[in-house]
Amino acid sequence: MSSHPRILIVECMQEISSFNPVLSHYENFHIERGEEMRAQEGLNTALGGALKVLHNADMEPVFAISARAGSAGLQSAEGWQRLSSEILAAVSICVESGIDGVYFSMHGAMGAEGELDPEGYLLTETRRIIGEHLPMVISLDLHGILTNRMLRQVNGLALYHTYPHVDFADTGRRAAEFLVRLVRELLRPVFARVVIPALVRGDELITKSGCYGDLIREAQRIERDGTALAAGIIIGNPFTDVPELCSQVIVATDGDEAAATREAVSLAEEFWALRHRMQGKFISLERAIAQASTIKGPVVFTDAADATSSGAPGDSNGILKGLRQSHYSGRVLAQIVDPAAAAAAHKAGVGAEIAVTLGGALDTTRYSPMPVIARVRLLSDGRASLETMKIGLDAGPTAVLTFDNYTVVVFSRTLSLFDRAMYYANGLDPRDFDLIVVKSPHTEFHMYDAWVENNFNIDIPGATSANLPTLGHTHCARPIFPLDENVTFTPQAVLYSRL
């Protein structure tokens, strides 16, 4: 090893909903190669956090490839074939010049036609390329699906500890610190994994206020006090219907199998006891509209069923239709993905009046197009950056349309909508409206909840409905709560170690 150990950096991140009928493709990914990946330096991303640690530790990053896609439907077989080949080719080339360790940044909730554990495949193949003895550390979103195949390849890991996610860079920092120790010290990581047959959703998952957060803080505590090298509770993305979808506790210690097992089992037992609390609470659209009509202050209608950040297409018009049918009279602000409507607006120009349909363009089984005669208020290229992570968003040609008491931002492409970035970028302030439709189960508190009078979680069909039994899972291991009745749980730790 040189005096400046060389750390291979690879990234592949996507989260999919198996219930989105639209396949995703290679083109969904934003690819950075080699030195282009330095663009993440200083950002609140996993790579941003990791690069700082490597720099301070006098280690040299060797950039392979970063592929990141917004959440979407299952990846096509062709897309996955091309993407995985490019990633592994980039790894191979970098390994030839000599490396001392690998940091692989992942989301964990990918899925492709013919490969329902893409991350497991990438890690297995990467291990084949780098050999058995180099340390490899991964980072994962807590909505990831950490599989047996993945755990058999890694020497270390770090998991998001916050939801809504704000600790991207912090997770990269923890992953890199683990890796630095693996390169410099004689660590003997042993992982205890306890699989919990439960899928969870709802407000109790908000780590600042919910009971899930109380358990995460215990995981953080054992990381900080040295009991564990890493610990976390991964809940999976309930919409990524793959064989190992589940909730699970992971605790890694330095050779102490008993401590890893004890801590993982104890957290899993506590989690299981809370499963009923960690479910979505909904209100019917009719009732929410009736209540909103009697409330003075602004309200949010949460359309978690069409959450683009969880893999839904973003073309649901269900709430808009309901509001129109019931003649809701407040000022409504909403977002929708509809390429044809956006194109028609760009063709007509600002100020023009156009007859278009909104929504129902992608998920045609769940939604039908809604005809409107709208005024084109503003046109944009659909570019912005996320409020927290500051990474780029690209909705393609975008239009602000108004009709009656409605203002709707119309996008050409599906993109994450878990903050206010696309409203601000198109000259709109949610505070100027009485009812705002938010296509995300949760946003950071200050964005809406801090100032709206009520946030209604609407029970409405969609590829990411928190009403999980309505979705129709076919791949994940059964029985699992709440898809099945009378599910029982006997905590059992499975140990992994590469020694």
459 touches Zn ion by CB under 5 A: no
Choose between 75 and 240: whose C-beta lies nearer to Zn ion.
240
Q: How far is the CB of 232 from Zn ion (least distance, A)?
A: 12
Closer of 167 and 434 to Zn ion (Cβ): 167
Our CB check for Zn ion shows the closer of 29 and 328 to be 29
287-296: list long-range contacts, CB under 8 Å, 24+ apart: 288/456, 288/458, 289/322, 289/323, 289/326, 289/328, 290/326, 291/454, 291/456, 292/328, 292/330, 292/435, 292/454, 292/456, 293/326, 293/328, 293/329, 293/330, 295/453, 295/454, 296/453
Of 100 and 141, CB closest to Zn ion? 141
Rounded to whole angstroms, how far apart are CA atoms 254 and 189? Answer: 5
- CA–CA separation, 61 vs 6, rounded Å? 6
Residue 159 structure tokens: 């998991």
Site for Zn ion in 332-361 (CB under 5 A): none
Question: In this complex, which beta carbon is closest to Zn ion, that of residue 61 or of residue 238?
Answer: 238
Task: Name residue 398's beta-bridge partners.
Answer: 380
313, 333, 386, 419, 445 from 422: Cα distances, Å: 16, 12, 8, 8, 18
Smallest distance from Zn ion to CB 15, Å: 7
Query: What are the distances in angstroms from CA 329 to CA 96, 362, 381, 449?
Result: 65, 28, 31, 22
- Going by C-alpha positions, the residue among 234, 154, 233, 145 that lies closest to residue 475 is 145
Q: Least distance in Å: CB of 163 to Zn ion?
A: 7
Binding positions for Zn ion, 103-142, rule CB under 5 A: 141
Q: Determine the size of the site formed for Zn ion (CB under 5 A).
A: 2
Nearest to 310 by CA among 471, 481, 487, 79: 471
Query: In this structure, are residues 333 and 404 in contact, taking their beta carbons and an 8 Å threshold?
Result: no
Query: To the nearest whole angstrom, how small is the minimum distance from the Cβ of residue 299 to Zn ion?
Result: 25
Shortest Cβ distance from residue 168 to Zn ion (Å)? 10
| Closest separation in Å from C-beta 39 to Zn ion | 22
**64 near 91, Cβ under 8 Å?**
yes
Do the Cβ atoms of 19 and 471 come closer than 8 Å?
yes
Residue nearest to Zn ion (CB): 143
In the bound state with Zn ion, the residue whose beta carbon lies nearer, of 141 and 444, is 141
- Closer to Zn ion by CB, 358 or 466: give it: 466
CA distance 372 to 364: 18
Q: Are 118 and 74 in contact (CB under 8 A)?
A: no
Lay out the site mask for Zn ion across 140-159 (x = CB under 5 A, - = otherwise).
-x-x----------------
Q: Give the nearer residue to Zn ion in terms of CB position, either 141 or 177.
A: 141
From the CB of 108, what's the least distance to Zn ion, in Å? 9
CB of 141 to Zn ion, least distance (A): 4
Q: Is 162 or 316 the residue whose CB approaches Zn ion more closely? A: 162
64, HSE (Cβ side, Cα atoms, 13 Å): 30
Q: Exposed, middle or buried, 292 (CB in 10 Å: 0-12/13-18/19+)?
A: buried
Which residue, 59 or 307, is less far from Zn ion as judged by CB?
A: 307
Q: In the bound complex, what is the minimum distance in angstroms from residue 216's beta carbon to Zn ion?
A: 13
Strand, coil or helix: what is 451? coil
The CA–CA distances, whole Å, from 148 to 123, 193, 363, 391, 496 equal 11, 9, 33, 31, 9
Minimum CB separation of residue 261 from Zn ion in Å reads 27
Q: Which residues bind Zn ion (CB under 5 A)?
A: 141, 143
